[in-house]
Homo-oligomer: A and B are copies of this chain.
Amino acid sequence: MERIFVSELAEHIGEVVVLKGWIHKIKDLGKVSFITLRDKSGLVQVVVENSKIVDLKLENSVTVTGMATANSKAPEGIEIQNPDFTIMGKAYYEMLPFEVSGYKMKASLESQLDHRSISLRIPKARAVFKIQEEIVTAFRAYLKERMFSEIHTPKIISSSTEGGSEMFTVNYFDRRAFLAQSPQFYKQMMVGAGFERVYEIGHAYRAELHNTWRHLNEYVSLDVEMGFIEDEFDLMKLEEGFLNYLFQHLSKTCAKELRMHGIELPEKLDIPRIPLSEAQDILLEEFEKRSPVGNIDAEGEVLFSKYVKEKYDSDFVFLTKYPISKRPMYTMPDMDYPGMTKSFDLIYKGLEITTGGQRIHDYEMLKENIVKFGLVPEDFSFYLDSFKYGMPPHGGFAIGLERLTMKILNLTNIREATLLPRDMKRLEP
């Protein structure tokens, strides 16, 4: 008999079914026990005579053959009766590191991460990654519909994109190489190479010396680059469109998972665009908060999000027109606002989740700008050369996948939105 998933049980009431999964919970009621079976798709109650469960232990993996029966008293209204159990995978532990089926997680985040193959058995913890998977699915579907191509670019690179700091070095045969901080140069080159519109879902590496709730040293970057744009507002429109599409998609595909986390997504996003300098003024006036030159800091992001939420009822805000000195050398200057660039950040619930902007596409202008930044054009030769052959106006942005996941679910630490996080202290598991 074919195995079915718990989520398919409703279509099989009155039939003998085969289920596979793990022993999630055992509730001894004297003559019988209620055993909760957990598979990828959900939980179901199995009613067993106690004489039959001598060998069963929490977290054994098992095959259960039994009668799918409607019972309004059972969770979800279905239970399995007259079961036969076969143990598929033995459990060798004396005590679980922490409870998988409890109402509240008592273990520290560190302990959960140390025992990732246990902590992910908790349905609410695994739900985070169902939502993360659907974010990626929506990202692809939205862009593919708009003629974007998916690309895969190298993560081992010969030189740094934006100066040499904060990069991991790799011993590449007899040379020193780096792990890419972003696919920036490559996604631009692929626009010019004729793909016009590209996206990449790939790892990015930052050797930052920050061990905080919002930093990872290895993360998944959702990168977009688009040719033939008018200006950076085309990009904000594209990202806003994606976020609207995403929230619709999640409401459809992850209703159960969102409910587990107590999340209700807004129906329609209208994201305000506010120049950075204006945001800085508002912070000063409304919160007596001083900002660093040409940016706002982490505290400023939180306060400004609060302001935007009250004033515009929006969890998101685009900050626009960052100064030239605070953006990389490839950022397009804004001729209408001297000293400023056609770039933006997206802040979501007090956290920056995107940096983007229009790029310089003219070869001579880019070369001059590299010099203006005190850098040497020869150090960027393969990148710069690709601008000699009719590079169109273009720009793009990147979204940190784990940050977006964290903020959608109101998680407090980015590691909860990372299957196997890498930080300054953690290389395992």
Stretch of A75-83, A238-246, A341-349, A390-398 contacting B (4+ beta carbons < 8 Å): A390-398
Chain A residues numbered 210-230 whose CB sits less than 8 Å from any CB in chain B:
217-218, 220, 227-228
Q: Is A158 an interface residue (CB 8 A)?
A: yes
Q: How far is the CB of A110 from chain B (nearest CB, A)?
A: 14
A:57-90 near B, CB below 8 Å: 57, 59-61, 63, 88-90
Q: Which residues of B contact A142 (CB under 8 A)?
A: none
Is B218 within 8 A of A154, CB to CB?
A: yes
Would you call B390 and A60 a contact (CB within 8 A)?
A: yes
Q: Is the CB of A133 within 8 A of B156?
A: no
Interface size on A, residues (CB 8 A): 95
Asked if B203 and A61 sit within 8 Å, CB to CB, the answer is: no
| From B40, B136, B389, B424, contact of A194 by CB (8 A) | B40
Tell me, yes or no, whether A129 is within 8 Å of chain B by CB.
Answer: yes
Give every chain B residue within 8 A of A220 (Cβ-Cβ): 152
Contact with B along A407-426 (1 / 0, CB 8 A): 00000000000011010100
Cβ–Cβ contact B92 & A190, under 8 A: no
Residue of B nearest to A5 (CB): B147
CA distance A218 to B388 in the complex (A): 28
Q: A178-210 CB contact bits vs B (8 Å, 1 = yes)? A: 010000001001101111110000110101000
- Mark out the residues of chain A between 366 and 409 whose CB falls within 8 Å of any chain B CB in the assembled complex: 382-383, 385-393, 401
Indicate if A13 sits at the interface (CB-CB under 8 A).
no
Nearest Cβ distance between residue A367 and chain B, in whole angstroms? 10
Residues B152 and A203 in contact, CB atoms below 8 Å apart: yes
Indicate whether A153 sits within 8 Å of B419 (C-beta atoms), given known contacts A61-B391, A121-B193.
yes
Q: Indicate whether A325 reaches chain B with its CB closer than 8 angstroms.
A: no
Which residues does chain B contribute within 8 Å of A190, judged by CB atoms? 117, 120, 419
Interface centre among A3, A175, A387, A390 (most CB of B within 10 A): A390
Partner of A133, one of B23, B149, B193, B429: B149
- A137 and B141 alpha carbons, distance in the complex (Å): 10
Partner of A93, one of B63, B115, B154, B389: B389
Name the one of B170, B386, B420 contacting A170, with C-beta atoms under 8 angstroms. Answer: B170
Q: Which of B117, B192, B391, B427 contacts A158 (CB 8 A)?
A: B427
How far, in angstroms, from A228 to B22 measured CA to CA in the complex?
11
Complex alpha-carbon distance, A63 and B137, angstroms:
33
A43 to chain B, nearest CB (A): 11
Give 4 A-B pairs besides A126-B195, A169-B171, A173-B207 with Cβ atoms closer than 8 angstroms. Answer: A59-B389, A92-B388, A93-B389, A154-B420
Which A residues form the contact surface with B (CB < 8 A)? 3, 5, 20, 22-23, 38-41, 57, 59-61, 63, 88-93, 96, 115-118, 120-121, 126, 129-130, 133, 136-137, 144, 147, 149-158, 168-173, 175, 177, 179, 186, 189-190, 192-197, 202-203, 205, 207, 217-218, 220, 227-228, 361-364, 382-383, 385-393, 401, 419-420, 422, 424, 427-429
List 22 contacting pairs A-B, 8 Å CB cutoff, sorted by A. A61-B391, A88-B228, A88-B393, A89-B393, A91-B389, A91-B390, A92-B363, A116-B189, A117-B192, A120-B195, A121-B194, A130-B149, A152-B203, A153-B420, A156-B217, A169-B170, A170-B171, A170-B179, A173-B207, A175-B427, A186-B420, A202-B202
